[in-house]
Structure formats: structure tokens, C-alpha cells
Amino acid sequence: MAAERDVVIEHPNRDKASSKSTKAVVILLLLASAALVVIVTVGGWDATAGAQFVSLAFAAIYLAMAFYVAQWNRGVLPVSAALAMILGIFAAVSAPGWFDRDATGYTDPAMGADMLGLLTAVIIPVQVLLIAFAMRGFQQAWNIEVERLADGTTRVMPS
């Protein structure tokens, strides 16, 4: 039992500057994505024809994933990349619709349709960046653990 207290678990890949910067960028991109989705959803609430729940669910999931990435949870990175692909497709399909709302018969959104179209178009490159950085973070192996014993020796734990 005394030997177990002399063991310190270290995560060497989390100490690297590249891992820390990737983590920060992924968190920033998740938060930016959630904010953009909420702004577009609230700004176009009357014009989104029942898609509000899906949009708010995306924002809530992105916020939860940002929390887990902040805790060095590597498992949510591929999930965030997959959801970013889906959201990017949704944004690519819906962005032209915001710009085409100048015809008669369309409901006027609370925010200008051109501004909502621009914000929706901005979501696309943010999702592409999120995919790239999430996959980069996944490749950095944040989960590797090293046991450092009291005598200075180390053991790499299998992941």
C-alpha cells in the first residue's frame, strides 16, 4: 500500500505547447460555433420553421463538448468533428436561403436576412477549422499516462 502512494501519474503529451494550443483552439472553435448557432437561431426565430430545437441542441452539445475538452477528454474530439461536418452541411445548405429572402411571401426575421446569411456562411469555415483541430488533438494522444515511481523510474501505462 505504501508503494501505491509513491506513484505519480503524469500525462506527458498534455504538457506540450502544441497540445495546450490545440486544446485552446478547439475550445474556442466550439464556443464560437455555439455562439454563432444561437445568434442565427434567435435572430431568425420566426423564419426558421421549427428548426429551433435542432439548432439549440447543437449549441448545447457544443458547450458540453467544450467543457469536456477543457478537462483533457480526448474522446469527444472525433464526436465534435463528426457534428461539425453535419453542422457545416446544414449551414452550406441554409446560407443561400437567407440571402434569397427578398422575395414576397417570406417572413421577415428579427435580424436582417443578409446578416443572418453572412453569419450562417461564417459557420462553414469555423466547422472546417473545428474538424481539422479536433483531429489534430486526437492525434496528439492526450490519454497517454506515465507512472513515475519514488525511485525516479517510469512505466508507460497502456491506453
Model pLDDT for residues 76-125, shown as the tens digit of each residue: 999 999 999 999 999 999 888 888 876 677 777 778 888 999 999 999 99
Closest CA to 36 of 90, 101, 76, 73: 90
Between CA 130 and CA 108 the distance in angstroms is 31
Kindly state the cell numbers that stand for 124.
462553414
Q: In the chain, which ranges are continuous DSSP H helix?
A: 2-5, 17-43, 52-70, 76-99, 113-139
- Dump pLDDT digits (tens) for 87-99: 999 999 988 888 8
Closest CA to 118 of 100, 102, 99: 99
Of residues 6 and 32, the one with the higher pLDDT is 32
Burial of 76 (0-12, 13-18, 19+ CB in 10 A): buried
Burial of 148 (0-12, 13-18, 19+ CB in 10 A): middle
Between CA 66 and CA 82 the distance in angstroms is 15
**What's 156's DSSP letter?**
E
Place 157 in a pLDDT band, splitting at 50, 70 and 90. low
